[in-house]
Amino acid sequence: MYFNSFDFAIFLPIVFVLYWFVTYKNLKLQNALLVLASYVFYGWWDWRFLSLIVFSSLVDYTIGLQLKKEEKPTKRRLLLWTSILVNLGFLGFFKYYNFFVDNFVDAFTFLGSNIQPNTLDIILPVGISFYTFQTLSYTIDVYKRKLEPTKDLVSFLAFVSFFPQLVAGPIERATNLLPQFYRKRQFHYSHAVDGCRQILWGLFKKVVIADNCAEYANQIFNTSAEHSGSTLLMGALFFTFQIYGDFSGYSDIAIGTSRLFGFNLKQNFAFPYFSRDIAEFWRRWHISLSTWFRDYLYIPLGGSRGGTWMKVRNTFIIFLVSGFWHGANWTFIIWGFLNALYFLPLLLAKRNRNHLDVVAQDNILPSFSELFKMGVTFGLTVLAWVFFRAENLSHAWSYLSGIFDRSLMSLPAVRPTNLIFLLFFFILVEWFGRRQQFAIETLFIKQPRLIKWSFYMLLIALIFVFSSVEQQEFIYFQF
């Protein structure tokens, strides 16, 4: 069930009414309703994969209780590794089995041996990368005694499967989300209105920006050999805005929907394309995943506490694993490697924590220096996204080679005027809203009602006018 579907437009109000008008007096009944609704939402794609999320939930729930009782370090480590192996085992099988088999075959073929292993026609369960990391955070935090294990099975099932963020995040920590299922929720009109406002902006990002950019990005990437350098650059730019509008749009809808039910999820995107260096970009892009890797991989490896070699090693590990998390393709690994290279000079010069504030914090416009830094960072990001979008490494190299051709100075063959104006409008709104949790959180909020509602109606009109006839799935569903 897609957020931008007619099915969800029916599903959400039904769950909302049952939640606030039927079960509101009983917290356990509310949580049970959320579990049921989440399983219906997830099973809408393929009910067979419900068994995976239920099994993973039960494993970590049981291990959490056992960790509470067990004091011996060796047995506690055994319990932790059981959780890690079970969860990553499922993830590895469904997501990476054929990748390793294919590369195993290629290695032996290179050495002169011809083997015929069995590959499987495996369907990747939607959202498995997200809920796997979410439930793992619970077990790890219980193991480290940062969190008391829960005895409330229904609350734990709701935490793992909470439908707004189940499929593509944000990846919530148990320390933040799980306690919210223990507390009685009160309906606040202002929170609900704020949630609807964020849902509206998320739908605009997805339907108007991402889906329309996707049309031209796909057209150019799929026929890249036929295009000039300038057209290929346009294709890379369209994909750059597609993936941001698509993924951050999903996060906005997820966070806004959660607010309708009295839950607060953490911000997942903080206007990353206004970053002044790559380190700032990664503090602002997919924040829930970046901080997950930081806390559960980078810091345990030693973080930045060791010498230069350890810092460099850990940086490359974190970016390569991040790339591999995104998919079983060498393009994602090279994408991660490239971002590590971008990050390395900042790390070595100890400048990776330079920009912790919002760009042009007290000004309407950025300074020339800030504008230049944003331009360089954005350009490097666009080039890296080519690897993310390309079908394979050969396609990526040929695409980049095509961009850096003399034809780069020619007029692009694809330059849709309507979309360019929409992108300009989108960037303008994001810029003026860059200090907020989402771009239109306070935009026009203090203006007369006519101005405020005219703006909202404009967004709604644009969503209807520029919506695709066919529903476009979110990019991160494939991860």
Contacts of 188 (CB under 8 A, 6+ apart): 262
With CA atoms as reference, report the closest residue to 279 among 347, 207, 209, 232.
347
188 catalytic? Reply is no
Rg of the chain's alpha carbons, rounded to an integer?
23
Tally Cβ neighbours within 10 Å of residue 345.
12
With CA atoms as reference, report the closest residue to 12 among 268, 258, 266, 262.
258
Q: Is 411 exposed, middle or buried (0-12, 13-18, 19+ CB in 10 A)?
A: exposed
* DSSP 8-state class, residue 208: I
Please report which residue ranges of 204-350 form alpha helices under DSSP H: 211-222, 229-260, 278-284, 287-293, 308-326, 330-348
Q: Is 36 exposed, middle or buried (0-12, 13-18, 19+ CB in 10 A)?
A: middle
Tally Cβ neighbours within 10 Å of residue 311.
19
The two tokens of residue 27 are 């917290």
Q: Are 87 and 135 in contact (CB under 8 A)?
A: yes
The two tokens of residue 401 are 């080679």
- The Cα 441–Cα 205 span in angstroms is 14
Q: Are 330 and 245 in contact (CB under 8 A)?
A: no
Length of the chain: 479
Q: Are 441 and 198 in contact (CB under 8 A)?
A: yes
Tally Cβ neighbours within 10 Å of residue 138.
26
Q: How far is CA 279 from CA 236, 275, 295, 349, in A?
A: 22, 8, 16, 12
The two tokens of residue 382 are 């666009």
Q: Is the peptide bond before 170 cis (omega within 30 degrees of 0)?
A: yes
With CA atoms as reference, report the closest residue to 374 among 312, 443, 434.
434
Q: Are 293 and 326 in contact (CB under 8 A)?
A: no
Which residue among 286, 326, 355, 395 is the active-site one? 326
Q: Is 308 exposed, middle or buried (0-12, 13-18, 19+ CB in 10 A)?
A: exposed
DSSP calls for 453-476: HHHHHHHHHHHHHH--SSPPPPGG
Report, as residue numbers or ranges, the catalytic residues.
326
